[in-house]
Structure 1
């Protein structure tokens, strides 16, 4: 079924428009955000475009300050008026799939056992269900390179810790509410820590600093602790 989307275009700054599709966590809204971002930043990228910032249900469009905002507004309206279904389908086909190795449990995932008990399953069942999902990078936020991943099995949703940790290790794979994510660097955090990846999520020295980008697909692959160093980039 072809779903109808309503989008408001708001001024975000003198050199930016905000395309707002809604205000909730909705996979179809997020897919629409990424579809529009891919089209705008693709082969026929407009000369005035300077940057795109996808979020859960909105897209920041930054343009050349010398360009005419009214003209860009008209171009965005024309883009949004196009048939939506083929755009979303093309976006899904173009998305990368990135595999993330994870050592679950023990010192790498100190909340695995308590989370499994709270969910009334064994730690291995939690690992299996968490690593069998295919997730979508809904947005990057909180810290450079931090991916908010949509697609968590609803049966694995967990509340955040009542008291956040002062230090969470870089690479920690965690669940917070109805989402899963990966801490790109050591920082405070209140999500439930299931495991850790040796992959570097953000490196400013790389051509593309963030390992994961909005719209990417992510698969977690469980590995043994003795393979942690070997699985690093």
Structure 2
């Protein structure tokens, strides 16, 4: 399958037209950014890590009743996805207080959040991705009341599935962000689910295995990402015989 014209270039992925109507080709690049693009680097193999993990989780969630935009992989860093109209929201599920929530609100780093906290941000770099409450989401016409409720329920379901999965790997799913898009009359999970879009801590040591390694110079980010990929591959060998 050949890539067509470039449709969109994000911070770490590029979307191209596909030969097939209703599909796009998503290329995961080796670029890494932090702090709204103020910090930028390129790491060979990073795109393949994120694409591999995203493909695994899209498939895993599909098998557990969550509809996604994932179609198939073309190679280790290139994914075919359904062509959607993205909803400009980042929906964040937090199980443990970390990062920006501890700077903006009186939570302490590592504080357990039970039940999980769902936060919704408006996806707009020029405005600093401001947080939105339900009333603002409805006022902006981004979702209907029923759609908003359904997306929150889906996010909590995804959180339960991912939290339990990582718990098996002796990791804590601290938080993650997801995005959704419209595909005809359906709203599907899109974007990616990777180490770029979540926080993962070792259960015992609280060592980070996510983008915070890069953000805060905690070590070798490719080693951290590689360990997550290796853990998932071990899980697949054990469970997908």
Do these two structures clear the TM 0.5 threshold for a shared fold by scoring above it? no
What TM-score does the superposition give when structure 1 sets the normalisation length? 0.29
**Relative contact order, higher structure (CA 8 A, sep 6+):** 1
Tell me which protein shows more helix as a share of its residues. Answer: 2
